[in-house]
A and B are shown apart, each in its own frame.
Chain A
């Protein structure tokens, strides 16, 4: 016995909701065709979303002068239309200089606006452009080094899954990469005698999706929680392009894993300095990240343009 239809009124409402969605809409989350891109920790995501990180806690490796910073960060992304969103991010910082008492306070408030350039389902590709702003005097400037200047940062973010490889290469198809390319334009060239350079920012996340392996390549018998794990390695660098030597490049390499569930995901990564000026030793970061579009699919999880 098969069920061929449901209540007509519910179907009409559903049809109306689906009809209102533009073709190719990523529908929050990082979907491109059958590829699910998780929200990564270090690098920005190449998709607009209704999501929130609450919290993200990181203990950074000690920097060359021996001080160590711990951050508690909150991120919120909210879609305005199906293809645009705004983001807001802030962090509470605890800076512990070597041999001195710890200093605490807020870092700079950061906001952003993003537009989904394209979503290509068959090729599992995503592209996004955005403008991020780090605001002056929104954090503890003197004690924590929060900026006394505003920085504008245009970015291009992308994602690409390898699911369109030939089926003769089955175990490569779960791979995916996401990346960020952007520039920093500070509104002051100098603060307290120190130069504020323009920077080139670049970062990548290399992912191997066990959910993709299970659903689309070969069911190897993984069950909860292993069938929702996505091992990944993230790298990100900031290179000055003027005012200070390029040798002042800072960056980290962050191997880790993300568990992606129905309403939230949890990620954990080690933080390894990639250059001498970044620091030494190691640190770690964990993130609890919720999908507002899945938690509240009929209210705040929808784009604001669809609220009425």
Chain B
């Protein structure tokens, strides 16, 4: 079993030494949180990614259960936060909302995803 343990220990050490950026941009967390319920209409949806984003090729949409857009246009990357994507929302009525995102990391890898959140009555 020593043959197995050596590379495992080396690999575990490499995890600790790894830089804190990702090549593919994965969704790290969001506000409202993925799958969460919020008590009132949030003014914006904010997504934090594991890699800096290329703004020209990164987008977010928010739709209601009828498939209608409830966001206010183009997603923005706040200055000084290149791994963050925000989109403003219209006032939301209680219901379930679908967030769809498509981003390109600064090293050209595209990724995409969806999640929902609920606005409680």
A-to-B contact residues, CB < 8 Å:
1-6, 11, 14-15, 17-18, 27, 29, 31, 33-34, 36, 55, 57-59, 70, 72, 121, 167, 170, 211, 214-219, 225, 259, 261-264, 266, 268, 284-286, 288, 291, 293-295, 297-298
Does B116 sit within 8 A of A, measured CB to CB? yes
Complex: chain A residue closest to B74, CB-CB: A4
16 sample A-B contacts, Cβ–Cβ < 8 Å, listed by A number: A6-B56, A34-B111, A34-B113, A36-B26, A214-B27, A215-B34, A219-B33, A262-B21, A264-B11, A284-B1, A285-B4, A286-B4, A286-B7, A295-B23, A297-B23, A297-B107
CB contact list, B89-107 vs A, under 8 A: 104, 107
Q: How many residues of B contact A (CB 8 A)?
A: 48
Query: Chain A binding site: helix, strand, loop or mixed by DSSP?
Result: mixed
In angstroms, Cα B79 to Cα A180, docked, is: 47
In angstroms, Cα B38 to Cα A213, docked, is: 19
Contact (A31, B35) CB under 8 Å given A70-B3, A167-B116, A259-B15: no
B68 contact set on A, CB distance < 8 A: none
Contact (A18, B34) CB under 8 Å given A4-B76, A286-B8, A297-B109: no
B51 contact set on A, CB distance < 8 A: 262
Digitize B1-41: 1 where CB-to-A-CB distance is under 8 Å, 0 elsewhere: 10110111011101100110111101101100111100000
Digitize B56-82: 1 where CB-to-A-CB distance is under 8 Å, 0 elsewhere: 110000000000000000001111001
Q: Please state if B8 and A266 are interface contacts (CB–CB under 8 Å).
A: yes
CB distance from B60 to the nearest CB of A (A): 13
CB distance from B56 to the nearest CB of A (A): 5
A15 contact set on B, CB distance < 8 A: 56-57
CB distance from B32 to the nearest CB of A (A): 9
Which of B7, B30, B76 counts the most A-chain CB atoms under 10 A from its CB?
Answer: B7
Q: Please state if B34 and A216 are interface contacts (CB–CB under 8 Å).
A: yes
Among B11, B23, B78, B113, which residue has its beta carbon within 8 angstroms of that of A294?
A: B23
Among A27, A59, A121, A295, which residue has its beta carbon within 8 angstroms of that of B109?
A: A27
Query: How many contacts between A and B, using CB within 8 angstroms?
Result: 136
CB distance from A174 to the nearest CB of B (A): 12
B-to-A contact residues, CB < 8 Å:
1, 3-4, 6-8, 10-12, 14-15, 18-19, 21-24, 26-27, 29-30, 33-36, 50-51, 54-57, 76-79, 82, 86, 104, 107-116
A121 contact set on B, CB distance < 8 A: 112
Contact (A294, B24) CB under 8 Å given A3-B79, A6-B56: yes
A5 contact set on B, CB distance < 8 A: 55-56
A297 contact set on B, CB distance < 8 A: 23, 107-109
A6 contact set on B, CB distance < 8 A: 54-56
Contact (A59, B4) CB under 8 Å given A2-B78, A6-B55, A219-B33: yes
Contact (A266, B24) CB under 8 Å given A6-B54, A18-B57, A57-B3: no
